[in-house]
Amino acid sequence: MSNLTQAFHLVLQTDVLLAILLASIYGLVVGSLPGLSATMAVALLVPITFYLSPIAAIATIISASAMAIFSGDIPGALLRIPGTPASAAYTDEAYAMTRKGQPELALGIGLWFSALGGIAGTLSLMLLAPPLADMALNFSTYENFWLAFLGLMCATLVARSSPVKAIASMLLGLLVSCIGIENPAGTPRFTFGVTDLFGGIEVIPALVGVFAVSEVMRAMMSAEPPKMPFRRFGSILKSQWTLTKQYVKPQVRGNIVGIIIGVLPGAGADMAAWVSYSMAKRFSKTPEKFGTGHPEGLIEAGASNNASLASGWVPALLFAIPGDTITAIAIGVLYMKGLNPGPTLFTEQASSMYALYIIFIIANIIMIPLGIIMIRVASRVLRAPRSAIMPVIVLMCAVGTFATGNNLFAVMTVAAFGVIGYVMERNGFPVAAMVLGIIMGTMVEQSLVTSLMKSDGSIIPFFNRPVAAVLAAMTIAALLWPVAAWGWRSMRVATR
C-alpha cells in the first residue's frame, strides 16, 4: 500500500498537475485542428519532455494523446474533416448527426464514451497487464495477418455505398501503401525515381487530402448552404446517461475490442475504431440506420479507440514493444527518463507505475470538463461564414502536414489526394475505405509475405497455430456470414 501513497505523492506535485493540465489543453487544440494528428501532438511534445521530471514527462504524453484522440472527432462531426485517422471511421456518421441538427449529441457521445473507454482501458492496464502481455507475445506474423485481414473487411461496412466500390477503394488504399521502400525487399517500389516517395505515402497527408481538401473543393462548386436555424447549442452531457443505459452491450463490446486491439502490436486506436464501428453495425438490430446519424456506432467506436489507447501501453511497458505509433514515441521518452520498460518496472519502480495509472484516470476525468469547453468553442465554426472557415482549413492542411517531418513534399501529397478524394466521392467510392487500406496496407503485406517466407511458402502455419486457427475461423465466419444470412432469409421466405 505504501507504493500507492508514494504514487499519489508523485502525482500530486505542482509540476505534474500543471503538466497534465497544459498537455490536455494542448492535446485538445492540436487534435481538433485538421491536419494535425494525435501522433503528431505527441511527437511535437518530445523536445519539451526533455526538460521535465520523469513523471511529468509521461503525464504530458498520456494526457495529450488521450485528449487528441477525442478532439479528432470535433472537426469530423462539425465539418466532415476528421482530425485523426481514428475518427475517420465514423466521421460520416457524426457529420450526418450535425446535419440533422444534433451536433452536441454527436460530440457529447464522442466525449463521454471516450472518457469511459479510457477508464476501462486503464483498468485493463492495471489489472490484466501480465495476461494481456502474454497474449500479445503469442502474436506472430501469422496471427497478425488474420488480424489485418479482419480489419480490411471492415471496409464494406463503414460506408453506405456499393460494397464493390468500397472494396475497390480499399484496394486503392492498399496500392498506395505499396509505394516506397518499406517493403519486404527494401527496394524502391513505384517510386519513379522520386526520393521523397522512398518513405511511402504517409496516412496523415492522405487523410487530410481526401477529407479536408476535397471538402473545400466541393464547397467551391456549391453555393453557400442555408445557415442552420439559429438555436441554442444544447446540453452536451444531458442525454449521455440515457444512452449509456440504452446501449450497454455496444459499449462493453467496444471497450473489450479496443483493449484487445490496443494490446496487439501494429494495430492501435486507428484500427480499433474501424473494427468497433463495423461490429456495431453488424450486430445492430437496426443496421439500416447506420450512416444517417445514428448513435450506436459512435458509442461503440468512441469507447473502443480510447480504450485501445490505454491498453496499448501494456506491451510498451512490459516488453518495450509499441502497441501503436503513440506508444512507440512514449517508449523513447520512458527510456530517456530512466523508466526503462521491462518487468522490473512493475516490481522495482512500482510507485512510478501506480503514478502512471493515476495519471491515466485523472486525464480521462478532466477530459470531460475541458472537452465541453472545447466543444463549445469549436461549435462556433458552424455559425461562421463558410468563406472564412474554408480558407483557414486550406492553410492548416498545408502547414499541419508540413510540421511532422519539416518536409514540403507532404503538402504536395495533400494536394494530390484532395483531387483523388474529390473524384472518388463524386463517383460513389467511399474515401474512408481508402484510408483504411492505407492504414492497414503495410501490416497486411508484411504479415503475409514474411509469414510465407518463414514457412517456406506453406500455408499450414496460418491454420495450425492455436491463436491463428481461432482468428482464421473468425475471418472465414465473417466472410460467410452475409451469404449464410442471405440464405437463411430466403429459406424463411420460402417456407412462409
Partner 1 sequence: MQLSDRVTGLSLVALGGLAAYGGWRLPPFPGQEMGPEVFPMVVGISLALCGAMIAAGVGRSYEDEAEADLARISAEAEADGSTAASHHSKWWELRVLIPPALLLFYYFVVDRLGFLPTAAVIVLIASLALGARARLAIPLAICAPLVVNLIFLKLLRVPLPSGMLPLPWIGLP
Partner 2 sequence: MTTRTRREVLAGGGALAAAAAIGAGPAFGQAYPARPITLICPWAAGGGTDATARIVAAVLEKELKQPVNVVNRTGGSGVVGHAAIAAAPPDGYTLGIVTVEISMMHWQGLTELKPDSYTPLALMNEDPPGIQVNASSPYKTVKELADAIKASPHGSMKASGTGQGGIWHLALVGWLLAMGLKPDHVRWVPLNGAAPSMQDLAAGGLDLVTCSVPEARAIIEAGKARSLAVMAAERNPAFKDVPTLKEAMGIDYNSGAWRGFTAPKGLNPEIAKQLTAALQRVNQSKEFLDFMAARGFGVKWADAEGFAKFMDEGNKAMGVAMKAAGLAKG
Instruction: Provide the binding-site residues for partner 2, judged by CB under 8 A.
Output: 42-44, 46-47, 50, 136-143, 180-182, 184-188, 193-199, 265-266, 315, 318-322, 328-333, 335-336, 338, 340-344, 404-410, 442, 446, 450, 453-454, 456
Measured from the CB atom, the residue of 2 and 224 that comes closer to partner 1 is 224
Measured from the CB atom, the residue of 196 and 244 that comes closer to partner 2 is 196
* Minimum distance of partner 1 from residue 267's CB (angstroms): 19
* Minimum distance of partner 1 from residue 245's CB (angstroms): 27
User: In 179-190, which positions are buried (b, 16+ CB within 10 angstroms) versus exposed (e)?
Assistant: bbebbeeeebee
* Minimum distance of partner 2 from residue 179's CB (angstroms): 11
Please, are residues 195 and 456 in contact by the beta-carbon 8 Å criterion? no
* Minimum distance of partner 2 from residue 128's CB (angstroms): 16
Place of cell 432469409: 489
* Minimum distance of partner 1 from residue 322's CB (angstroms): 23
18, interface contact from partner 2, partner 1, none, CB < 5-8 Å by kind: none
Please, are residues 404 and 207 in contact by the beta-carbon 8 Å criterion? no
What's the distance, CA 366 to chain centroid? Answer: 21
User: Residue 169: which region, alpha, beta or left (left: phi > 0; alpha: psi -120 to 50)?
Assistant: alpha
414, interface contact from partner 1, partner 2, none, CB < 5-8 Å by kind: partner 1
Q: How far apart are CA 459 and CA 142, in angstroms?
A: 9
Measured from the CB atom, the residue of 6 and 140 that comes closer to partner 2 is 140
46, interface contact from partner 2, partner 1, none, CB < 5-8 Å by kind: partner 2
Measured from the CB atom, the residue of 347 and 427 that comes closer to partner 1 is 427
419, interface contact from partner 1, partner 2, none, CB < 5-8 Å by kind: partner 1
Give the Å distances, CA to CA, from 58 to 17, 332, 361.
12, 11, 13
Helices (runs of H) and strands (runs of E) counted in the chain = 26, 0
Measured from the CB atom, the residue of 145 and 354 that comes closer to partner 2 is 145
266, interface contact from partner 2, partner 1, none, CB < 5-8 Å by kind: partner 2
* Minimum distance of partner 1 from residue 441's CB (angstroms): 8
223, interface contact from partner 1, partner 2, none, CB < 5-8 Å by kind: partner 1
* Minimum distance of partner 1 from residue 12's CB (angstroms): 27
Give the Å distances, CA to CA, from 346 to 70, 126, 130, 342.
29, 11, 10, 8
Give the Å distances, CA to CA, from 400 to 23, 68, 357, 465.
18, 14, 31, 44
C-alpha cell of residue 170: 480499399
Measured from the CB atom, the residue of 199 and 287 that comes closer to partner 2 is 199
198, interface contact from partner 2, partner 1, none, CB < 5-8 Å by kind: partner 2
Task: Give the length of the chain.
Answer: 496
Please, are residues 442 and 141 in contact by the beta-carbon 8 Å criterion? no
